[in-house]
């Protein structure tokens, strides 16, 4: 307040402003796009390999755990499972036989995110991504820098190849070309298709607080240094505490092209259900797909899945082809059928 303005002048001016405001025309304020209420139950949704994860995450948020902590604990089950070749320990390696892991996470209540890419030697990239969120002003760390960061927080460097994942890689290397200097070996069912695998998990607690996390060992036999959609905020997963969360598994490059996690949440912001939002994102994927990735009938040669939950606790999944997803509905965890765009040929 200026020293030259008397109390009487100030009060008079204030009264005049108040009177003018009372007489001024009212300006309409736009209502939010989506009216939401906190869910009455804890909910968790994940890719089909996350059945154990959603059960644990749902139980943890039921007991009052933070949603991000619960989501990370859920995906850690797969990261630490040597029999799961899609994520973490035992994940299938790149073409040189090196396991490189990616992960990202978002915490709705604090609007913070963390991610790591091409991380080697650390079993639980989801936890390292959470540490990036908690302890740095950055969002993504990659490669050698990500590993040094993890080691500085006490993570142990370990060989992530199991005997099983090494054997699968050796078979691929031997059989990848007819005219190379490697002897072909008998193939088995594990070599029929090029393996891909990821786990995405999103959860919401009874207060309507939301978090999401995605973790992967990426595309098997990838070019060293390749990073897919999993650690990309807005692609592999996205979370907005006012709306919901969504994530993806499948061909990461196709998801990156449309920022699918973010786009699915935006569809929910406009009022779409989680399932309809995921289907609409898949339609955008198809519109952005190069002809070389389609067969003669215009059908994609790849699979892509989306999983979504909104702040109300409604959830759903959708894929290009028939698929399933895991969900905890507040009481039980089960596998559910995804909506889809194409029948398998």
User: Which active-site residues does the annotation give?
Assistant: 198
According to DSSP, the β-strands at 101-107 and 198-204 are unpaired
* Rounded CA separation 195/311 (Å): 33
Q: Which residues contact 298 (CB under 8 A, 6 or more apart)?
A: none
* Rounded CA separation 1/220 (Å): 67
* Rounded CA separation 96/293 (Å): 25
* Rounded CA separation 157/326 (Å): 31
* Rounded CA separation 215/84 (Å): 12
Would you say how long the chain is, in residues? 345
């Amino acid at each position: 307040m200026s020293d030259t303005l008397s109390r009487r002048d100030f009060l008079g001016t204030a009264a005049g402003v108040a009177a003018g405001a009372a007489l001024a025309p009212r300006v309409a304020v736009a209502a939010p796009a989506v009216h939401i209420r906190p869910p009455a139950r804890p909910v968790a949704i994940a890719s089909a390999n996350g059945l154990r994860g959603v059960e644990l995450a749902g139980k943890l948020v039921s007991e009052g755990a933070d949603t991000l902590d619960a989501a990370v604990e859920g995906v850690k089950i797969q990261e630490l499972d040597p029999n799961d070749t899609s994520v973490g320990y035992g994940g299938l390696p790149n073409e040189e036989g090196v396991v490189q892991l990616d992960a990202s996470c978002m915490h709705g209540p604090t609007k913070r995110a963390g991610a790591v890419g091409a991380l080697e030697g650390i079993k639980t990239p989801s936890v390292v991504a959470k540490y990036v969120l908690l302890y740095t002003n950055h969002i993504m760390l990659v490669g050698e820098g990500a590993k040094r960061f993890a080691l500085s927080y006490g993570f142990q460097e370990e060989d992530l190849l199991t005997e099983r994942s090494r054997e699968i890689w050796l078979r691929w290397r031997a059989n990848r070309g007819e005219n190379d200097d490697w002897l072909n070996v008998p193939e088995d069912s594990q070599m029929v298709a090029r393996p891909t695998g990821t786990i995405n998990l999103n959860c919401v607690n009874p207060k309507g607080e939301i978090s999401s996390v995605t973790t992967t060992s990426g595309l098997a036999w990838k070019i060293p240094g390749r990073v897919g959609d999993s650690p990309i905020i807005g692609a592999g997963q996205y979370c907005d505490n006012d709306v919901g969360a969504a994530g993806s598994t499948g061909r990461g490059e196709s998801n990156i092209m449309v920022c699918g996690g973010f786009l699915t949440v935006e569809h929910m912001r406009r009022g779409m259900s989680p399932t309809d939002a995921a289907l609409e994102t898949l339609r955008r994927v198809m519109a952005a797909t190069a002809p070389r990735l389609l067969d003669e009938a215009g059908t994609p040669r790849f699979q892509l899945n989306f999983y979504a939950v909104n702040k109300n606790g409604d959830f759903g999944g959708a894929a290009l082809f028939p698929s399933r997803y895991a969900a905890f509905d507040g009481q039980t965890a089960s596998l559910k059928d995804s909506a889809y765009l194409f029948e398998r040929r």
